[in-house]
Homo-oligomer: A and B are copies of this chain.
Amino acid sequence: MGNATTGDGQHSEWRPVRRTRTFEAVLDRIDERIASGELRVGDRLPGERQLAALLGVSRPSVREAMRVLEARGVLTAQTGSGPDAGAILVADPGRALSGLVGTHLGLSAFALADVVEARWAIERLAVETAAREADAADLAPLRKAVAEMRAPGLELAAFHELDTAFHVGLAELSGNPLLVAFMTAIRTSVHRYAARAVEEMTDTAAGVTALTDDHARILAAIEDGDAERAVAALDTHLRRAYPRVDRGTGTDTGTGTGTGTGTEQRERP
């Protein structure tokens, strides 16, 4: 890998040099300072004009680099003056990942089934870790979310909010910000594409109840420190939420035929 002669006889393919564009050079300079620890979360970058002058490039080039950093979730920009104004380094991988996954989902680069499968991989680990390490205090917000799901006459949108809070909270229990970011991204991008299907559920009340019970079961297993049971409960839950998506796992199934979300699945080639 990396050499030419891919087998088709001709040894051409000398292209991929691609002279670096100046905004990429700007990006590199900033990345260097980030990697070296010179720039940290909360720090302010010099103003666009000043940075352009310092680097010897034009302001548009600097701005394009800014946009990339913003797309990576490490920068926000505020107008005005004062301490909060300007370009400030942040760490918001969740939002950035959401955009990325969402766009690729739209491009059909991923199928919904792929995203759900990845979610299963992430969440399984989160649940295992939580069952091993979480104590009662950590679980309080999750318990609260589950309790609120049982409120009579709950709006579907509100249920979604709580559901997201529950699952992101689960990821947070792992203590791993990368997993939290993935979970956030997966939730929001799937939400955009599957919300409509959920609204069309035949018996929403029963569905909500079943899903809420799933949550409670996951929580109870974590509370007992029973990782295996927690993972099984999670598996049941995901199968219920995405019945048409084959995640292909060997773990035990639960009731199986639940009130489903009804999301389309892609054929595998």
Residues of A with Cβ closer than 8 Å to B?
1-2, 23, 31, 34-35, 37, 39-41, 60, 63-64, 67-74, 89, 91, 93, 96-97, 99-104, 106-110, 114-115, 117-118, 120-122, 124-125, 128-129, 132-133, 161, 165, 174-179, 182, 227, 248-250, 268
Assuming the A-B contacts A107-B74, A128-B250, are A165 and B1 also in contact, with contact meaning beta carbons closer than 8 angstroms in the complex? Answer: yes
Task: Report yes or no: B165 in contact with A23, Cβ–Cβ below 8 A.
Answer: no
Contacts of A100 in B (CB 8 A): 72-73, 93, 96-97, 100
Contacts of A64 in B (CB 8 A): 63-64, 67
Interface of A is mostly: helix
Complex Cα gap A37–B107 (Å): 7
Copies in the complex: 2
Task: Report yes or no: A31 in contact with B165, Cβ–Cβ below 8 A.
Answer: no
Assuming the A-B contacts A99-B72, A125-B121, are A31 and B249 also in contact, with contact meaning beta carbons closer than 8 angstroms in the complex? Answer: no
